[in-house]
Structure 1
Amino acid sequence: MAKILILANNDVGLFNFRKELIEELIKENEVYISLPYGDLIPKLEELGCKFIDTPISRRGTNPLTDIKLFLKYRSIIKEIGPDVVLTYTIKPNIYGGIASRMSAVPYIANITGLGTAVENGGILQSITLFLYKISLKKAKCVFFQNKENRDFITDKIKMSNHRLIPGSGVNLKQYSLMDYPKDGVVNFLFIARIMKEKGIDQYLDAAEYIKRKYSNTEFHILGFCEDAYEAKLKELQEVGIIQYHGMQSDVREFHKISHCTIHPSYYPEGMSNVLLESAACGRPIITTDRSGCREIVEEGVSGFLVEQRNSQDLINKIERFLHLDYKQKKLMGAESRKMVETKFDRQIVIEAYINEIKKVI
């Protein structure tokens, strides 16, 4: 059996978005996973993965910590002797890629988003691109999740083999088409980590305005809350502007009551899984007109696009949605589902990986 080593930065993303690929790989290969321990590690081990605990400072910029990660990857590769290494997210892509290259082991990288270091420019962008140049140059394949990321990186770094895939795709059976809820109270849904770059300020601005003007609306929020927003969420919940539900293990229960998902994110992600899952459930979408979000929406057909960081534009698009009749809202949801069935089925991603791995092994 061939040995496949997967380098990732967290268990949640690996289990929720790569589980089906892992299930396919385990049929004929030994699969090792290197990442920090988390609650979903036992489930990944149940699938048949062999876990290697690997601490990662996901957002840290301490060079000593990153050197330790690189050395850890070198040690893991030497010990296991993988036939191919799969890397996800920035630090595994960079340090795992360099370690694989130095060990003469084939590797396949996935650019799941450029990250704020590249997005914001400056010295951090220059350093990150330099490291990407070293790590990606000899990759057997680099997967990109949207065209803007691909064009930006390939303009800076010449590489021989890269492919565009539809993000992580979505499991169309797990996120099945749901009945559209009745048109009494209109429920809006925000699902994301409660942080500035995910557009929470714009969502709260819109909720305050719309709720006071349209009494038949409810604004729901799901996700882990950063300290900076705890007081504000509590205050707005107490006066009835929002309903905050915290972290949820299964968001499908909330899609059942939702009429529309609002995702005003300007975080530099590859392809929004929140939007893919919402669309798969047959829900209209209001989201930012930027890469990683706009690809999942057909303007005016399955939802609306808004200018990033623009609360007034978001308010305007919510009002446009509210002025649609029930049949039009329901049709928007059906169009969302149709789009993901055509373009974002997770099986497309699995087949792309299997194809590239077969070239190597």
Structure 2
Amino acid sequence: MKKILILANNDVGLYKFRKELIQELVKKYKVYISLPYGDYIPELKELGCNFIDTAISRRGTNPITDLKLLRNYRSILRDVKPDVVLTYTIKPNVYGGLACRMSGVPYIANITGLGTAVEKGGILQKITLTLYKVSLKEAKCVFFQNKENEEFLNKRITISNHRLIPGSGVNLEYYSLLDYPKDEMVHFLFIARVMKEKGIDQYLEAAEYIKKKYPKTIFHILGFCEQNYEDKLKEMQDKGFIEYHGMQSDVREFHKISHCTIHPTYYPEGMSNVLLESAACGRPVITTNRSGCREIVEDEINGYIVEQQNSQELIRKIERFLNINYEGKKKMGLAGRDKVEEEFDRQIIIDAYLEEIDNY
């Protein structure tokens, strides 16, 4: 039986966004996964994966730590002897790609977003692009999740075989179309890590303004809170402007009561899973005009697009949404469901991977 090795930086993303692909792979291949231990490792093992505990400093820039990761990957390649390696996120793409290139092992990379280092420019951008150039040169295929990322990298480095896929896609059965709520209160959802680049400041500012003007609104926040926002969230909740629910393992329970998802991110994403899941459930979305978000929203059809870091425009679009009648809101949600069914079914991604893997 052929072997496939998957290099990733966390268990949550691997299980939630690549579970269906893994289920297909274990039918034909012996599958190994290399990543740090986390709560979803037992579930990944249950799927049939062989787990290799691998430490990764996801956001660190210490070259000694990164060289250690490269050595670890080379050691894993020697032990496992995989026929194909799949890599996700920046560090596994870069250092996993380098290890595969040095070892002569075929590999397929997935650019899940270029990261803040590339977007902000400067010396870190130059270093990151150089690492990408070296690590992706011999890749058998590089998957891009949005066209802007694909065009940006291809102008700067040579990638022989690359394909555009619709992000990680969405499981249309798991995120099924939900009845649109008829509650008198209008519920909004923010689902993301509570951090500046995800647009939390704009969401909080809009929540305070709208709640004062439209008392029959509720602004929910779901996600892990970065430490510097803990006091702010407590203050806003005590004043009745928001309801903070922390991390949630199943956001579908909140989609049941929600009327709209607000995702005011300016973080460099590949394709927003938050928006895909919300639209799949039949919920209108309000998000920013940036790659990885605007592909999912047809402005005024299944939601609204706003300028990033613009609280006033966000407030205007929320008000416009509130002034739509019930049937109009519901129609927006149904349009979103139709769009993801046509363009973002996760099976599209699975088929693309199986086609590339079958080449080896």
CA shift digits 1:198-256 (9 cap, x unpaired): 00000000000000000111000000001110001001101100000011110000000
1:183–1:326 CA contact under 8 A, matched in 2:
no
For residues 192-231 of structure 1, what are the structure 2 equivalents within 5 Å?
Answer: 192-231=192-231
CA contact (8 A) 1:110 1:143 kept: yes
Map residues 300-339 of structure 1 onto 2, 5 A cutoff.
300-339=300-339
SS at match of 2:295: helix
Offset of 1:118 from its aligned partner? 0.4
- Measure, in 2, the Cα distance between the counterparts of 1:140 and 1:31: 19
Amino acid at match of 1:186: V
Aligned residue identity for 2:228: A
Q: Tell me the residue number matched to 2:72.
A: 72
- Give 1:259's aligned residue: 259
Unmatched runs of 5 consecutive residues or more in structure 2:
none
> C-alpha deviations, 1:81-120, integer Å up to 9, x for none?
1000000000000000010011000000000000011011
Task: Report what 1:46 is aligned to.
Answer: 46
1:14 aligned counterpart, secondary structure? helix
- The 2-side partners of 1:98 and 1:227 are apart by 34
Change in Cα spacing, 1:259 to 1:181, as seen in structure 2 (3 Å) is: same
Q: How large is the Cα RMSD of the aligned pairs?
A: 0.5
1:210 is aligned with what amino acid? I
Equivalent position of 1:30 in the other structure: 30
Answer yes or no: is the 8 Å Cα contact 1:222–1:244 preserved in 2: yes
SS of the residue aligned with 1:78? helix
Q: Cα deviations across residues 69-92 of structure 1 (Å, max 9, x unaligned)?
A: 000000000111100000000000
Letter in 2 for 1:98: L
Between the aligned partners of 1:316 and 1:305, the Cα distance in structure 2 is 11
**1:296 aligned counterpart, secondary structure:** coil
- In structure 1, the residue matched to 2:14 is 14
Displacement, 1:183?
Answer: 4.4
Paired residue type of 1:48: G
Query: SS in structure 2 opposite 1:294?
Result: coil
In structure 1, give the amino acid aligned to 2:279: A
Report the alpha carbon displacement of residue 151 of structure 1 after superposing the two structures with TM.
0.2
Q: Who is 2:350 aligned against?
A: 350
1:2-26 deviation line (CA, Å, top 9, x unaligned): 0000000000000000000000000
Q: Which amino acid aligns with 1:66?
A: D
What's the counterpart of residue 108 of structure 1? 108
Q: Which residue of 2 is the match for residue 290 of structure 1?
A: 290
Deviation sequence 1:176-198 (CA, Å, 0-9, x none): 00000004100000000000000
Matched, 1:142 2:149: no
Q: What does the per-residue CA deviation read over 1:259-284, in whole Å, with 9 as the maximum and x for residues that have no partner? A: 00000000001000000000000000
Q: 1: distance between equivalents of 2:81 and 2:236? A: 54
What code does the residue aligned with 1:261 have?
Answer: T
Asked whether the 8 Å contact 1:118–1:129 carries over to 2, the reply is: yes
Give the unaligned 5+ runs of structure 1: none
Paired residue secondary structure (2:209): helix
Q: Secondary structure at the match of 1:219?
A: strand
How do 1:138-217 and structure 2 match up within 5 A? 138-217=138-217
Deviation at 1:159, TM superposition (A): 1.3
Q: Percent identity?
A: 74
What is the identity, as a one-letter code, of the residue corresponding to 1:171? N
Q: Deviations along 1:46-85, whole A, 9 cap, x unmatched?
A: 1110000000000000000000000000000011110000
Normalised TM-score (structure 1): 0.99
Scaled by the length of structure 2, what TM-score is found? 1.00
The letter of the residue matching 2:266 is Y
Q: Matched residue of 1:32: which SS?
A: strand
* Letter in structure 2 aligned against 1:264: P
Q: How many residues align?
A: 360
CA distance in 1, matches of 2:137, 2:308: 33
Structure 1 SS opposite 2:175: coil
What is the aligned partner in structure 1 of residue 88 from structure 2? 88
